[in-house]
């Protein structure tokens, strides 16, 4: 039960606006969730899958026009336009409340409003933050129950006068033209209307844990980042932790759950997953940077998940999982997606709800695909076979290395190390990647995506860069900062590096660098590994020559990058720290030397 006075008043106001028939408070109990599942099955909102083969698994299909985050309809509403900055869409807060208020008015008529108290981070821990989401979607309730900690224990932690993020969501009528995902960082508020896609409506995730939290982090002296967190345990049982930022759908979940190659496994190395998408970082009393994963589950991209790419993920989605927009195999009442195996079902329904015959599926012809490229699983963190025991530690884990990465066919080498925190922050700021299906729009275009935060930074990107530099000054023992690129291709467009579990070989070089155990070659862009320092034992098809190719830095291509970055900085404007311009000039000078 909610006893918080501000919350009660706000819920009353939002109910008066949206006019639901009923208000149901979500207590977090299994009985209540089960009753909601039954209701959603009866209405067709979710389909119950084969409970013998896949216990606790369900399938949901979104509307056809509602399959990804909508960045062009996502707004940061600050009083001063410059505080949102040129990389965000902006609306004046009053204008936005008024405009969306009209859309929300009566939008829950005939429906139930669910009140979900949720915590990002371990309930009641020093670093956790509380939100309340009001929604008219059972799908949202069921997903929030997986992705966050919800219910009575959160309402108790909120108490009578605690602060919380106010999240209002209505599917309304899923009208694309009136779809808005709006953030009001100055009053801890999120309004989302006319969507049912996870990234737009599970308000704890991108909206709160990144956009609102990045704003709060700057105010309060910590950081909210689009990063996975993993631990590598050596044969002596010591674990070192790494955070890595990649743009959406570039393999964060796969890297977070990787299985070490045989050479490492037999020596006793293990990999532990702490998080796959979001890290909240703060400076510990020991002067190191500590990370927690504020989420409680994984909302991952399904296509491409298989026994080779991510066996841990495949295992964890066999039970207690909600699938969205994958193929429904009618013979077995299970699910299928592109990249799972070579046996697509013949008697099936595709993500659009149409009959689908897998014998007509042709890998080379996307029009024959049955699952949406951004189809998703939602599953509890505790389902993950390699979940770190530290996942439950409210203090989080100390970070040895930060990795930035993107999907680049040519420019970026397999790995390089920055010269220090300031240069490392600069390396993060110039990140670029070829776009994927996680956001609506054209796929395969290169776009600058600083720290993988372009769609998720809740304030001016220039101020965000400054915050990175300020944080660096507060960390006595800062993590070392690296950049990786698993996606370099040869002239025929084939990936040169095998990726997946083999990426551990690169992580090992990174950790060796952190511990001063291995040398490096200084290049204009940073420290590069000597090819012989990347362990390729037991790796077929990769030779020292392959590594030389993967580590090659082409000066002309990079001088082209410099020009592109200069234009990008100009777009962000005069809040880009002068230190970053100096780093860019220094990079150019080194390339020309």
In this complex, which beta carbon is closest to ligand OXD, that of residue 197 or of residue 465?
197
Judged by beta carbon distances under 5 to 8 A according to partner kind, the member of ligand OXD, Mn ion, none in contact with residue 18 is none
Nearest approach, Cβ of residue 206 and ligand OXD (Å) = 7
Pick the closer one to Mn ion by CB: 277 or 350: 277
Q: Which residue in this structure is represented by tokens 């040398």?
A: 519
Q: Does 69 bind ligand OXD (CB under 6 A)?
A: yes
The distance of closest approach from Cβ of residue 210 to Mn ion in the complex, given in angstroms and rounded to an integer, is: 8
> Which one, 154 or 256, has the nearer CB to Mn ion?
256
Residue 225: CB minimum distance to ligand OXD, A: 12
Token representation of residue 232: 């590598």
Buried/exposed code over 138-155 (b: 16+ C-beta within 10 A; e: otherwise) = bbbbbbbbbbbbbbeebb
Distance (Å, whole) CA 568 – CA 329: 46
d(CA 15, CA 21): 9
Rule CB under 6 A: say whether 299 interacts with ligand OXD.
Answer: yes
Q: What is the C-alpha separation between 157 and 348, in angstroms, rounded? A: 46
Closer CB to Mn ion, 69 or 480, in the complex: 69
Query: Which string of b and e fits 350-365 if b means at least 16 CB within 10 Å?
Result: bbeeeebebeebeeee
Q: Which long-range contacts (CB under 8 A, 24 or more apart) does 522-526 make?
A: 523/416, 523/553, 524/553, 524/555, 524/558, 524/587, 524/590, 524/591, 524/593, 525/413, 525/416, 525/553, 525/558, 525/587, 525/590, 525/591, 526/416, 526/417, 526/418, 526/419, 526/423, 526/427, 526/483
C-alpha–C-alpha distance, residues 230 and 510, integer Å: 13
User: Contact, 136 vs 49, CB < 8 A?
Assistant: no
Nearest residue to Mn ion, by Cβ distance, number only? 277
Q: Say whether 442 sits in a helix, a strand or coil.
A: coil
Question: From ligand OXD, Mn ion, none, which one binds at residue 121 (CB under 5 to 8 Å depending on kind)?
Answer: none
User: Does residue number 404 form part of the binding site for ligand OXD (CB under 6 A)?
Assistant: no
d(CA 84, CA 214) in angstroms, rounded, equals: 12
Among residues 144 and 155, whose Cβ is nearest to ligand OXD? 144
The CB-of-455 to ligand OXD minimum distance in angstroms stands at 8
Residue 277 binds ligand OXD (CB under 6 A): yes
Q: Which is nearer to ligand OXD, 434 or 549 (CB)?
A: 434
The CA-CA-CA angle for residues 578, 583, 589, to 5°, reads 125
With contacts defined by CB under 6 A, how many residues of the chain interact with ligand OXD? Answer: 6
Residue 60 contacts which entry, Mn ion, ligand OXD, none (Cβ below 5-8 A, type-dependent): none
Would residue 457 show up in a list of annotated catalytic residues for this protein? no
> In what helix (H) or strand (E) does residue 231 lie, and over which residues does it extend?
strand 227-233
Q: How far is the CB of 433 from ligand OXD (least distance, A)?
A: 12
CA–CA separation, 503 vs 508, rounded Å? 9
Q: Give min distance, CB of 247 to ligand OXD, in A.
A: 7
Q: Does 73 bind ligand OXD (CB under 6 A)?
A: no
Q: Which of 190, 212, 94 has its CA nearest to residue 135?
A: 190
Out of ligand OXD, Mn ion, none, which partner does residue 225 contact, by CB within 5 to 8 A per kind?
none
Q: Tell me which of Mn ion, ligand OXD, none is bound by residue 199, counting a contact when its beta carbon lies within the kind-specific cut-off of 5 to 8 angstroms.
A: ligand OXD
Closest approach of ligand OXD to the CB of residue 324, in Å? 11
The helix/strand/coil state of 334 is strand
Which residues are near Mn ion by CB under 5 A?
248, 277
Q: Applying CB under 6 A, does 199 fall inside the site for ligand OXD? A: yes
Distance CA(140)–CA(136), nearest Å, equals: 8
Q: Which of 143, 170, 195, 248 binds ligand OXD (CB under 6 A)?
A: 248
- Torsion 295-139-254-409 (CA) sign: negative
Residue among 77, 96, 243, 250 flagged as catalytic? 250
Residue closer to ligand OXD (CB basis): 402 or 525: 402
Q: Of the two residues 277 and 329, which places its CB atom closer to Mn ion in the complex?
A: 277
Cβ atoms < 10 Å from Cβ of 479: 22
Packed helices 461-474 and 421-429: angle between N→C axes, nearest 10 degrees: 160
Distance CA 59, CA 328 (A): 8
In the complex, minimum distance from the CB of residue 65 to ligand OXD, in angstroms, rounded to a whole number: 17
Q: Which does 463 bind (CB under 5 to 8 A by kind): Mn ion, ligand OXD, none?
A: none
Rounded least distance, CB 290 to Mn ion, Å: 21
- Using rule CB under 6 A, residue 438 touches ligand OXD: yes
Look at residue 217 and give the partner it binds from ligand OXD, Mn ion, none, a contact being a CB closer than 5 to 8 Å depending on partner kind. Answer: none
Q: Which of Mn ion, ligand OXD, none does residue 406 bind to, with CB < 5 to 8 Å depending on kind?
A: none
Which is closer to ligand OXD, CB of 164 or CB of 391? 391
The binder of 299, among Mn ion, ligand OXD, none, by C-beta within 5 to 8 A per type, is ligand OXD
Question: Smallest Cα–Cα separation from 249: which of 287, 196, 303, 208?
Answer: 303
Summarize as ranges the residues that interact with ligand OXD (CB under 6 A): 69, 199, 248, 277, 299, 438
Residues belonging to the active site: 250
């Amino acid at each position: 039960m909610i006893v918080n006075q501000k919350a009660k008043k706000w819920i009353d106001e939002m109910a008066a606006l949206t006019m639901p028939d009923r208000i149901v408070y979500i207590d977090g109990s299994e009985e209540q969730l089960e009753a909601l599942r039954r209701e959603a099955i009866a209405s067709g909102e979710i389909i119950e899958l084969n409970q013998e083969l896949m216990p606790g698994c369900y399938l949901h299909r979104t509307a056809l026009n509602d399959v990804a985050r909508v960045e062009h309809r996502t707004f940061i509403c600050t009083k001063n336009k410059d505080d949102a900055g040129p990389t965000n869409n902006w609306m004046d807060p009053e204008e936005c409340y008024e405009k969306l208020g009209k859309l929300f008015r009566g939008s829950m008529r005939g429906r139930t409003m669910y009140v979900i108290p949720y915590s990002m981070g371990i309930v009641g821990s020093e670093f956790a933050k509380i939100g309340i989401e009001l929604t008219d979607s059972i799908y949202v309730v069921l997903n929030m129950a997986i992705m966050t900690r919800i219910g009575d224990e959160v309402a108790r932690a909120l108490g009578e006068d605690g602060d919380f993020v106010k999240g209002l969501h209505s599917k309304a009528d899923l009208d694309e033209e009136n779809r808005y995902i709006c953030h009001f960082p100055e009053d801890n508020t999120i309004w989302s209307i006319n969507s049912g896609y996870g990234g737009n409506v599970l308000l704890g995730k991108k909206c709160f844990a990144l956009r609102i939290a990045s704003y709060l982090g700057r105010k309060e002296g910590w950081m909210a980042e689009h990063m996975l967190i993993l631990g590598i345990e050596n044969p002596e049982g010591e674990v070192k932790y790494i955070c890595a930022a990649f743009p959406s759908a570039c393999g964060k979940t796969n890297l977070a759950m990787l299985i070490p190659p045989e050479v490492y496994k037999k020596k006793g190395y293990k990999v532990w997953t702490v998080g796959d998408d979001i890290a909240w970082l703060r400076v510990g009393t020991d002067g190191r940077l500590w990370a927690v994963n504020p989420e409680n589950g994984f909302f991952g991209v399904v296509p491409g998940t298989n026994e080779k790419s991510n066996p841990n993920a495949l295992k964890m989605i066999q039970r207690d999982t909600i699938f969205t927009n994958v193929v429904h195999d009618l013979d077995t009442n299970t699910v299928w997606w592109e990249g799972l195996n070579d046996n697509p079902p013949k008697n099936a329904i595709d993500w659009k709800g149409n009959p689908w015959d897998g014998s007509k599926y042709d890998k080379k012809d996307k029009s024959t695909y049955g699952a949406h490229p951004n189809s998703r699983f939602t599953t509890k963190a505790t389902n993950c076979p390699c979940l770190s025991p530290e996942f439950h530690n409210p203090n989080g884990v100390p970070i040895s290395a930060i990795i930035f990465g993107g999907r680049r066919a040519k420019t970026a080498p397999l790995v390089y190390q920055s010269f220090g925190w300031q240069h490392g922050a600069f390396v993060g700021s110039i990140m670029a990647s070829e776009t994927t299906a996680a956001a609506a729009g054209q796929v395969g275009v290169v776009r600058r995506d600083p720290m993988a935060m372009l769609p998720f930074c809740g304030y001016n990107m220039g101020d965000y860069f400054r915050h990175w530099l300020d944080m660096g000054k507060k960390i006595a023992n800062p993590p070392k900062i690296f950049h990786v690129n698993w996606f370099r291709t040869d002239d025929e467009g084939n990936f040169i590096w095998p990726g997946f579990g083999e990426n551990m070989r690169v992580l090992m070089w990174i950790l060796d660098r952190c511990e001063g155990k291995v040398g490096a070659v200084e290049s204009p862009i940073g420290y590069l590994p000597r090819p012989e320092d990347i362990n390729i034992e037991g790796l077929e098809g990769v030779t020292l020559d392959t590594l030389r190719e993967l580590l090659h830095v082409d000066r002309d291509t990079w001088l082209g990058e410099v020009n592109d970055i200069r234009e990008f900085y100009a777009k962000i404007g005069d809040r880009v720290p002068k230190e970053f311009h100096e780093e860019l000039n220094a990079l150019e000078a080194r390339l020309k030397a």
